[in-house]
Amino acid sequence: MNTDARIYVAGHRGLVGSAITRRLRSLGYNNLILRSSSELDLRDMGQVERFFRTERPEYVFLAAAKVGGILANSTYPAEFIRDNLAIQTNVIHYAYLNNVRKLLFLGSSCIYPKHAPQPMQEEHLMSGYLEPTNEPYAIAKIAGLKMCEFYNRQYGTDFVSVMPTNIYGIEDNFDLQTSHVLPALIRKFAEAKQNNQPTVELWGSGTPRREFLFSDDLADACVYLINQPDASNHGLINIGAGVDITIFELAQLIGEIVGYTGEIVFDSTKPDGALRKLLDVSKLTAMGWTATTLLREGIKQTYDWYCDKCKEQPGMTL
């Protein structure tokens, strides 16, 4: 991409979209097209059609999505499949109709089967049953990456599909009802420390293993890949750190960073989700990119950002 290219970042206020926006600006890309959800409802076909026809972006990062953890997915399954299907369908189709030069679609590692071999390789897609707790979201994401694949095949588009692992970082969602595990743990331990709670109770057994990637690393990978002329020829591309950790170990690490000294208790009557989710990132490594932010360092940056936000917004808990 030339630095003056017209680049649309869909979902620029979210965790991933904001990181991509920061990365682009740091590299000198200043001709960015940004719209909040109140300015452009990507679920509305008419609004998306008018936006692409008027703004004519040359490149698109499709980071807009309805996201959440186990609780949110279980509570709002209809919204998760409906909203994500609508967002993807509209953006991908009108990117094609308006001759976007390149589009990067962000999927999720939850698209892989519940019992996929570990680490999960790109060819494991659709080789078994999905994890029930996030099936609606996963089905929508599979449809999006397949849409990119089939548009490339039929129309000759240059749409790249990437599969990130669990992402965390600056601008994360810390709402305990809708957040993913890592930001939820940061908030739980921060509140427990502030309130001098003797224990912190967490869902599940603590034994499942998860891989986590700092959002700024994901953004760097996305910009790197959209600048690779043959990226779409590689099919799906996993993006991850290449290492995982148990939820118990993660809780201990976050408690240490936050400074909480009480007891960690797991409620094994609550669901664990998949027992392990680790991506095989050998394809991306062979293409020349690897993650650089260590988990401790990334969590510390995320916690510091959370504390700063709590000071700015009295409604948030420190």
- Active site (annotated) includes residue 129: no
Structure tokens given for 81: 């499949």
167 is in an annotated binding site: yes
Determine if residue 69 is labeled as part of a ligand binding site.
no
Q: Identify which of 213, 232, 71 has the alpha carbon closest to the alpha carbon of residue 145.
A: 232
**107 annotated ligand-binding residue:** yes
- Give me the phi and psi of 316, to 5 degrees please: -85, 155
Size (the chain), residues? 318
Question: Do 47 and 10 form a contact (C-beta atoms < 8 A)?
Answer: no
To the question of whether residue 85 is assigned a binding role by annotation, the answer is: no
272 known member of a binding site: yes
Helix H or strand E encompassing 60? strand 59-62
Question: 17 a known binding residue?
Answer: yes
What is the pairing mode between strands 245-246 and 209-210? antiparallel
Query: Is 35 part of any known ligand binding site?
Result: no
Q: Helices marked H in the chain — which ranges?
A: 15-26, 45-55, 70-75, 77-97, 135-155, 181-194, 215-226, 247-258, 282-286, 295-312
Cα–Cα distance between 217 and 294 in angstroms, integer? Answer: 10
The closest alpha carbon to 62, from 162, 212, 174, belongs to 162
277 labeled binding residue: no
Does 164 belong to an annotated binding site?
A: yes
Q: Residue 141, annotated ligand binder?
A: yes
User: Out of 29, 137, 168, 303, which one is annotated catalytic?
Assistant: 137
Asked if residue 180 belongs to a known ligand binding site, the reply is yes
Tell me if 109 is assigned to a ligand binding site.
yes
Taking the CB of residue 204, how many other CB atoms lie within 10 A of it? 18
Determine if residue 26 is labeled as part of a ligand binding site.
no
Q: Binding residue per annotation — 203?
A: yes
Q: What is d(CA 70, CA 178) in angstroms, rounded to the nearest whole number?
A: 8
**Is the CB of residue 231 less than 8 Å from the CB of residue 61?**
no
Catalytic positions, written as ranges: 137
Q: Which residues line the annotated binding site for substrate?
A: 188, 203, 210, 272
Q: Which residues line the annotated binding site for NADP(+)?
A: 11-17, 106-109, 141, 164-167, 180
Q: Which residues line the annotated binding site?
A: 11-17, 106-109, 141, 164-167, 180, 188, 203, 210, 272
